[in-house]
């Protein structure tokens, strides 16, 4: 495999939209704020080792954060996440976590929480599934956002802070399915309740005046080392991942896209973009060399060696774990979360419009023109 930078392809794909964004930035018409929501794939520091998902207890320690920040930032990766690359692309500072009260919030806030669910926590309590489950949900993040707005009113909250902001709704719902594995709760029930929760959440944002919204679908979580480690070898799809889980996510994403289509009709002045996380992830798994990846299924940081380098009692950061020399060649970081390299590639695929509908460039042009 070539030793050239693994993200050259992504850079080339992005180049077609770079100039329009730069021009918009220079005129002051691009986004000045981002408000982000989601789970660990978007969380930039709202959880620490003592409050994050059970099983991943070392997020506040190296080697987390080692690739870019050279220190742990409570991101569940070796470096930056997709939302970080979006912020950089828009020439904005990286989003601070909501729980950091001392952070500069002038360019937005990140409300995403690792381990968070789409469905409210009370559902899992009622079904005796609350052991070691993060209590925060999308509903919690909405409460935080509303509190943030209330606090801003004392500092003269302007309509533009909502109407001219980018709302990034990161992947949410994968944990809902994960927490119910092995229970009597049907996957179809989780899908229905997750979509209902996401729909209600988006309705609130849009009624508050949000006009530029990006909504990520579920990724191919059937490709995660943890999922592969726990599954039967016969349950595999065309890219070698757990077929039943990837199919379930694909079906849920179809329902979500139908919901977004109806919302575009209900809120015609808003731009609502679907970010196809599933499709982008699937594409990388089909053509890894094209995007600079050498290892698809093995976690960069973990223990146990091939084929997944994942052991439940030797997770990333533990004394039993080791870290690969070049995380950028790995899709997966710690068995569940992705490497900075993978996030960078997927972010590029969404930004350049290949895996966003309507395209991210269309959203930027609408914002630049300011004609709603």
Between CA 117 and CA 246 the distance in angstroms is 18
Tell whether the model's pLDDT for residue 358 goes beyond 80.
yes
Active site residue 70: no
Between CA 170 and CA 40 the distance in angstroms is 9
Active site residue 334: yes
Per-residue exposure over 172-185, b if at least 16 CB sit within 10 Å of its own CB, e if not: bbbbbbbbbeeeeb
* Residue of 40, 77, 137, 197 marked catalytic: 40
Active site residue 337: yes
Higher pLDDT, 228 or 57: 228
Between CA 89 and CA 21 the distance in angstroms is 8
Between CA 305 and CA 320 the distance in angstroms is 11
Tell me whether the omega of the peptide bond preceding residue 270 falls within 30 degrees of 0, making it cis. no
Tell whether the model's pLDDT for residue 124 goes beyond 60.
yes
Tell whether the model's pLDDT for residue 3 goes beyond 60.
no
Between CA 173 and CA 198 the distance in angstroms is 9
CATH value of 8-367 in 3.40.640.10, 2.60.120.330, 3.40.50.1110, 3.40.50.300: 3.40.50.1110
With bands split at pLDDT 50, 70 and 90, how would you rate the model's confidence at 23? very low
At 51 the pLDDT is 76
The DSSP secondary-structure symbol of 308 reads: T
Tell whether the model's pLDDT for residue 15 goes beyond 80.
no
* Residue of 60, 78, 334, 356 marked catalytic: 334
28-80 pLDDT, tens digit each: 448 999 999 999 999 999 998 777 776 788 999 999 999 999 999 999 999 99
Tell whether the model's pLDDT for residue 88 goes beyond 80.
yes
Q: Burial, 207: exposed, middle or buried (Cβ in 10 Å; 0-12, 13-18, 19+)?
A: exposed
251-294 pLDDT, tens digit each: 999 999 999 999 999 999 999 999 999 999 999 999 999 999 99
* Residue of 107, 121, 282, 337 marked catalytic: 337
Say if residues 61 and 50 touch (Cβ distance below 8 Å).
Answer: no
Tell whether the model's pLDDT for residue 365 goes beyond 70.
yes
- Other CB atoms within 10 A of residue 68 CB: 16
Please, what is the average pLDDT of the chain?
Answer: 90
């Amino acid at each position: 495999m070539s030793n050239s930078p693994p993200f050259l392809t992504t850079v080339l794909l992005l180049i077609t939209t770079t100039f329009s964004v730069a021009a918009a930035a220079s005129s002051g018409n691009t986004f000045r704020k981002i408000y982000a929501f989601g789970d660990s794939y978007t969380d930039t520091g709202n959880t620490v080792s003592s409050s994050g998902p059970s099983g991943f207890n070392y997020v506040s320690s190296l080697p987390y954060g080692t690739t870019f920040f050279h220190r742990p930032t409570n991101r569940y990766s070796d470096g930056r996440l997709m939302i970080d690359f979006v912020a950089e692309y828009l020439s904005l500072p990286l989003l601070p976590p909501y729980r950091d009260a001392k952070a500069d919030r002038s360019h937005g806030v990140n409300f995403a929480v690792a381990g968070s669910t789409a469905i409210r926590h009370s559902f899992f309590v009622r079904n005796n599934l609350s052991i070691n489950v993060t209590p925060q949900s999308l509903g919690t993040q909405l409460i935080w956002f509303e509190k943030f707005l209330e606090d801003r009113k004392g500092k003269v909250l302007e309509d533009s802070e909502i109407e001219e902001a980018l709302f990034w709704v990161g992947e949410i719902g994968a944990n809902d399915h994960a927490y119910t594995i092995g229970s009597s709760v049907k996957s179809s029930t989780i899908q229905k309740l997750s979509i209902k929760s996401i729909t209600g959440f988006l309705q609130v944002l849009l009624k508050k005046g949000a006009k530029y919204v990006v909504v990520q679908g579920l990724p191919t979580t059937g490709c995660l080392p943890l999922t592969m480690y726990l599954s039967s070898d016969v349950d595999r799809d065309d890219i070698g991942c757990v077929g039943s889980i990837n199919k379930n996510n694909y079906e849920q994403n179809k329902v979500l896209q139908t919901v977004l289509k109806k919302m575009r009709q209900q809120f015609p002045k808003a731009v609502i973009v679907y970010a196809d996380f599933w499709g982008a992830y699937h594409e990388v798994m089909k053509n890894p060399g094209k995007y600079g990846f050498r290892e698809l299924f093995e976690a960069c940081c973990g223990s146990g060696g091939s084929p997944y380098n994942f052991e439940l009692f030797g997770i990333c950061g533990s004394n039993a774990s080791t870290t690969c020399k070049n995380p950028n060649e790995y899709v997966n970081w710690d068995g569940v979360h992705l490497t900075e390299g993978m996030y960078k590639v997927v972010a590029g695929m969404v930004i350049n419009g290949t895996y966003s509908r309507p395209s991210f460039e269309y959203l930027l042009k609408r914002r630049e023109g300011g004609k709603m």
